[in-house]
Structure 1
Amino acid sequence: MPTMGTPRGKLVLAGITFAFLWASASVGTKIGLSAVQPLVLFVPRFFLASAIMLLISHAGMKKRLPQGREWLQLAVYGLFNISLYLGIYVVGMKETSAGLGALATATNPVFISLLSAIWLRRPLHLVTVLSLVLCLCGIGIAAWPLIAESYATPLGLGLVLLSMIAYSVGAIYFSASNLGGSLHIFTINGWQTLFGGLFLLPAMLVWYEPSQNDFNLTWLLATLWLVGPVSILAVLLWLFLLKDNPVKASFWLFLCPVFGFAISAVLMHEPLSLFTLAGVALVIFGLCLVQWYRGKQ
C-alpha cells in the first residue's frame, strides 16, 4: 500500500506500466472477439481472475474476509466497475477499433470531474464542461476516418463512451466508500470482480450462441492476457496509484491513447493519420485542463 513516503521512481514505473497494460486491453479484447461472443470473452475472465486474487488474498496472505456493510460496498463497486463498465465496453468494442477504445478510456478523468460535481452537489465549472467538449471532439476527429473505413461504428463508439461513465461512477464510489482504508487491494479487487461476473452471468447465458464461439488458441491467449496483465496487474496498479494520490493517478491515463494507437497499429494494422494525431492532441489538452483545475482547487 502506498504511503506519503512512496519513492517517486516506484510511482513512475507503476504509472507507465499501468498505462501500457490498460491500453493493451482494447487490443486484447478485439483479438478475443474474433473468436467468441463479447460476454463469453469477459465473464469467464472475471471468474478466473477473481479466483486467483481471492486465493492469494485469503489463502496466501491470510487477509480477512469483508464484513458487514463491506459486502454491499463491494457488490455495488463490482456492479459499476465490472458489470456495467466492462459489460457495456466489450459489447461496444465489437464495433469499435482498438485505438478508439484506448482513446475513450483516457477520458475518464473528465467524466469523473463532471460526475463528482453532480454527486457532491458542487457548482459545475466552465473548465470541466470545456474539457468534456474538447475530449469528445478529439474522439470524434480520431473516429472520423475509422468509421469511414469500417473500423468502427457510431453505435459501438457510443457504447464505449457510455461504459466510461459507468467506470467513472465506480471510481467515485470507491473513493467515497473508504474500502481502500479497511481491506487489502487483492481482497477488494477479487471480490468486486467476482460480484461483477455473477451479475453478468445471466446475460451471458441468455445470449449464448454456440455457433458464434470458437474456443481456439486465439481465445485462450486473449483470455489469459486479459486475466493476468489487465484484470489483475493493471487494476492493482491503478488502485495503488489511486490510493497514493487520486489526482496524480489520473494523469497516467494520458498515456493510454498513445500506447493504444501504437499497439493497435502494430498488432491490428489499424491506420494512423493526421486525424489520429489531432484527435489525441485534443483529448490530452482537455485532460490537461481538467487536471490543472483539479490541482488548483
Structure 2
Amino acid sequence: MSATGSPRGKLILAGITFAFLWASASAATKVGLSAVQPMVLFVPRFFLAAVIMLLISHAGMKKSLPQGKEWGRLAVYGLFNISLYLGIYVVGMTGTSAGLGSLATATNPVFISLLSAVWLRKPLKPLTILSLLLCMAGIGVAAWPLLADSYATPIGLSLVLVSMIAYSVGAIYFSASNLGSLHIFTVNGWQTLFGGLFLLPVMIWQYDPALNSFNLTWLLSTLWLIGPVSMVAVLLWLFLLKDNPVKASFWLFLCPVFGFGISAVLMHEPLSFFTLAGVVLVIGGLCLVQMRRLKQQ
C-alpha cells in the first residue's frame, strides 16, 4: 500500500494541503484588494459561502434548523468569528503584507490559550506568557524590514493582531455556547450569514464605485477564498480535528512557511534573515503551547 493510501498517509496529505490552502488566504486577500474595497471583497463571499453551506445542511443533509436560544448564540458567534475577526482582518490587510498576515494567523492558538485563562479566571502560566512573547517577538522581527520597505504599516499590522483576538474570543465563546448538537455546516452556514448581515451596512456605507473593478482579478480571488479556503480547507481541518484535536494544531506550524513562500512568488515580497528568524520564533511559541496541550491530553 502506498504511503498516501494508509491512514497516516492520508492525515499527512490532509495536513499539508490544509496548511497550504489556509496560508494562501492572505495572498488571495491581497490580490483581491488590488481590485475592490475590503468589504466588497469579503461580504459577498460570506453570503455565497453561507448559502452553499446552508443548502448542503438543510436541503442536502436534511439537518434541522437551530432552535430557541441557538439563534442568538449563532448570531453572537457570527459577530466575533466573521464580522469582527474577518472584518477587521481584511481592513488590516490593506496595510499588511501577505506573509505577515499568514504569520499572524498562525498565532491564534496562543491567543486562545491566553484568553481562555482570563475567561476561566485561572492564573496565567509562565509557559503561556512565554509563548505569547515569542510569537509577538517573531512577528516584530519578520515585520521590521517590511515596515521599512513599505510592504506593511504599523496600523495595518495592529489591526490584523486585533482581529486575531476577536477570533480567539469567538472560539472560546463557541466552546461554551452548547452548539455542539448542531451539524458543523449548520453552525458555519448560519454564523457566516449573520456575520455578513452585520457587515452589510458597513459595505453599503463605504461603497465607492470608483474604487471597485469587478475584473478577473476580483473574480479569481473571490472564488479561491470561497472554494479552496472557506470550504476545502475547513473540511480538511475538521477531518484532522476528528482524528486528534491537539495533533491537528501542529499543522498550523506550516502556515507561516507556506504563507511567506506564496507571498514571495505571487506578491514578490522579500524574504530575508528577519523572515526566517520571525517564523522560527513564532513556531517556537506555538510549540510551547501545543506541547503543553499534548501532555495534558
TM-score with structure 2 setting the length: 0.94
Q: What is the deviation of 1:277?
A: 0.3
Whether contact under 8 Å (1:247, 1:291) holds in the other structure is yes
Point out the more displaced range, 126-135 or 245-254: 245-254
Tell me what 1:182 maps to: 181
Structure-2 residue corresponding to 1:251: 250
1:68 aligns with 2:68: yes
Matched with 2:111 is: 111
Q: Are 1:95 and 2:95 counterparts? A: yes
Distance 1:67 1:183 in 2: 10
Instruction: Flag structure 1 segments of 5+ consecutive residues without an equivalent.
Output: 1-6
User: Once the 2 structures are TM-superposed, how far is the Cα of residue 58 of structure 1 from its aligned partner?
Assistant: 1.0
Q: What is the correspondence of 1:31-180 to structure 2 with a 5 Å cutoff?
A: 31-179=31-179
5 Å-filtered alignment, 1:18-37, equals 18-37=18-37
> Is structure 2 residue 263 aligned with structure 1 residue 268?
no
Matches within 5 A, 1:195-214: 195-214=194-213
Residue correspondences, number: 291
Render the CA deviation track for 1:107-128: whole Å, top value 9, x for unaligned: 0111010001011111101111
**Which digits, 9 at most, give the CA deviation of each residue in 1:153-189, with x for residues without a partner?**
010000000101111111122222242x311111111
What is the CA distance between 1:253 and its match in structure 2?
1.2
Aligned mates of 2:193, 2:235 — CA distance in 1: 15
Question: Match for residue 281 of structure 1?
Answer: 280
Distance 2:250 2:176 in 1: 20
Distance (whole Å) between structure 1 residues aligned to residue 196 and residue 84 of structure 2: 10
Residues in 2 aligned to 1:13 and 1:75: alpha-carbon distance in whole angstroms:
34
1:255, 1:30 → 2: CA distance?
Answer: 20
Do 1:106 and 1:254's aligned partners in 2 also have CA atoms closer than 8 Å? Answer: yes
- Are the equivalent residues in 2 in contact too, given 1:134–1:282 (CA < 8 A)? yes
| Offset at residue 103 of structure 1 (A) | 0.3
Compared CA separation, residues 238 and 176, structure 1 to 2 (3 A)? farther
Q: Once superposed, which parts of structure 1, at least 4 consecutive aligned residues long, lie more than 4 Å away?
A: none
SS at match of 2:176: helix
CA contact (8 A) 1:185 1:236 kept: no
Q: 1:176 to 1:87 in 2, by over 3 A?
A: same
The percent of aligned pairs where both chains have the same amino acid is: 83
Change (3 A) 1:67 1:12: farther
Q: Deviation per CA, 1:245-276, whole angstroms, max 9, x where unpaired?
A: 43323222111101100111111111100000
What are structure 2's unaligned runs of at least 5 residues? 1-6
Counterpart CA distance in 2 for 1:199 and 1:238 is: 26
Label 1:28 to 1:200 Cα distance change in 2 as closer, same or farther (>3 A).
Answer: same
Structure 1 residues 135, 248: CA separation in 2 closer, same or farther (over 3 Å shift)? same
TM-score (norm 1): 0.94
Distance 1:240 1:168 in 2: 21
Maintained 8 Å contact 1:189/1:236: no
Classify 1:234/1:103 alpha carbon distance in 2 versus 1 (closer, same or farther; 3 Å). Answer: same
Letter in 1 for 2:149: E
Kindly state the Cα deviation for residue 8 of structure 1 after the two structures are TM-superposed. Answer: 4.1
